[in-house]
Amino acid sequence: MIDFNKISKIKTKKDIKKYKIDEPIFLSNYLFHYLIMTNNIEAMKLTKHPIYKENNEGLQGFHLAAKIYNETKSLDMIKYLLKEYPEYFANINYFNEHFLLHFGVDDNLLKLFTEFKKLDWEYILMHKIESDEDYSSGKTFLSHIFYEGSSKLINYILKNFKIDYTELDNSP
């Protein structure tokens, strides 16, 4: 059984050495999955984690942090991951999803876009979702922003990103 309380209290390298970083603990969840679930950024800082690995739900580190954000509205873990693991921010999982699909259309995207300007946001905004089971199949996340986003978010994207809008699909 996973002791979330114990994992949430990891603070030192001695504490973290009790766990294997490169092996799943339970249901294909690695230690970093549980650290993200418990928002234990201090323990995340103690070592490099294989955040590109998926759990049994197809969630990599960024995907899970976005899913947790959607429930808590705390950007702390996502900002930490963007700062420390920028090379993985655009990873696509087994289900052809990037982390913004779990984040959702939200004005807090503006904070991420402005704070992490050097990342290739256009890539994941324009990535086509190819799922037969999802209403979004064949659409981009940008389409969702144009359909559901605030005028502030849409205007920011129009002014700051170099996107070929002719590639967009016509429906949400």
- Tens digit of each residue's pLDDT (9 = 90 or more) over 68-114: 999 999 999 999 999 999 999 999 999 899 999 999 999 999 999 99
- State pTM to two decimals: 0.91
Residue 171, pLDDT score: 47
pLDDT band at residue 167 using 50, 70 and 90 as cut-offs: low
Closest Cα partner for 50 from 10, 13, 91, 9? 91
For residue 166, pLDDT beyond 80: no
In this predicted structure, the answer to whether residue 133 has a pLDDT above a threshold of 80 is no
DSSP 84-119: H-GGGTT---TTS--THHHH-S-THHHHHHHHTTTS
- Asked if residue 29 has pLDDT above 80, the reply is yes
Mean pLDDT computed over every residue of the chain: 91
Question: What is the CA 164 to chain-centroid distance, rounded?
Answer: 24
pLDDT of 27: 87
51 token code pair = 């955040």
pLDDT for residue 129 is more than 90:
no
Across the range 8-16, mean pLDDT stands at 95
Give the model's confidence band at 134: pLDDT under 50 very low, under 70 low, under 90 confident, else very high. Answer: low
For the segment 30-57, the average pLDDT, to the nearest whole number, is 97
As beta bridge partners, residue 128 has 140
User: For residue 145, is pLDDT > 90?
Assistant: yes
Residue 132 confidence class, pLDDT cut points 50, 70, 90? low
Is the pLDDT reported for residue 172 higher than 60? no
